[in-house]
A = this chain, B = another copy of it.
Amino acid sequence: MLIRLGYDIRFDITAPVPVVALLKVHPSRRHDLREPDELRIEPYVAIDEYRDLFGNISTRFVAPAGSIRLFNSTLIEDSGLPDPICPDAREVPIAELPPETLRYLMGSRFCEVDLLSPAAVELFGNAPRGWGRVQAICDWVYSKVTFSYAHARPQRTALDVYTERIGVCRDFQHLAVTFCRALNIPARYTAGYLGDIGITLPPAPMDFSAWFEAYLEDRWWTFDARHNQQRIGRVLLATGLDATDAAITTSFGAAKLTQFTVVSDEIV
């Protein structure tokens, strides 16, 4: 399957502001690209591209005063298969986890693992270990938290989600990630394209989406506490400890978003 990816994001800027963007397809998927994946900026600005601490392709530039447009269109090949599931995938003892997964057991800005550890044990301590436990976490978060764009707020942590029971995409994933870590299952936050391929959704503007990955058996697996169903056509942009590391754009100063369009369509 081929998927057309793209975005058109515009800001109004009053004074030059440094921006870091995570808008390029993740290295793990770059061999699937069938067209170049460039971050195009109008007006032209010099950009600096590098791998960040988590391996994402990060782009840094200074947005000048005035209107600025970030846009792109590219094409990627995809299996067309839904997220793999593997109910037999086992939890890996901490002593046997690959070292690079260990940081994903610990707390981060939006994931207070220490504070939610008792609740995690009480809620999921008796769930079957392995895949079933992560799925139990997703089921719980999905059923207990209400989605509401109107209640988005950038400071909301996993503990806030646990107490407020409301939030957007990232909030669902933060709470699920925190529960996983509290149970010694490495979990990381991810952001990317997620279209509506294969499902019927009420028509709505496309957006980037957040999901998460848990490490079981011998690899990272995709989970999504927000949608809690297998989906087709996820394309990873960035991964990290939490939304801090996978924000699509981070502006170090005032930048007023004036347009935001995302495309993620199956080419038929």
Contacts and interface: CB of A to CB of B under 8 A. Distances in A.
Contact of A52 (B103, B115, B116, B118): B103
Interface residues of A, number: 46
Given A107-B109, A252-B184, A100 B53 contact: yes
Interface in A40-63: 48, 50-53, 58, 60-62
Contacts of A257: none
Task: Work out how many copies of this chain go into the complex.
Answer: 4
A60 B98 CA distance: 11
A200 interface: no
Q: Is the interface of A mostly helix, strand, loop or mixed?
A: mixed
A257 to B, nearest CB: 14
Interface of A: 18, 20, 48, 50-53, 58, 60-62, 93-95, 99-100, 102-103, 105-109, 111-112, 114-116, 118-119, 144, 150-151, 153-155, 159, 162-165, 184, 244-245, 250, 252
Contacts of A99: 48, 50-52, 58, 60
7 contacts: A52-B103, A53-B53, A60-B99, A60-B102, A106-B245, A108-B108, A116-B163
A119 to B, nearest CB: 7
Q: Which of A61, A114, A163 has the most CB of B within 10 A?
A: A163
Nearest to A50: B99
A18 B154 contact: no
Contact of A155 (B48, B94, B106, B164): B164
Contact of A163 (B100, B118, B184): B118
B102 A52 contact: yes
Contacts of A105: 252
Given A53-B53, A108-B109, A163-B159, A62 B100 contact: no
A133 B69 CA distance: 35
Nearest to A102: B20
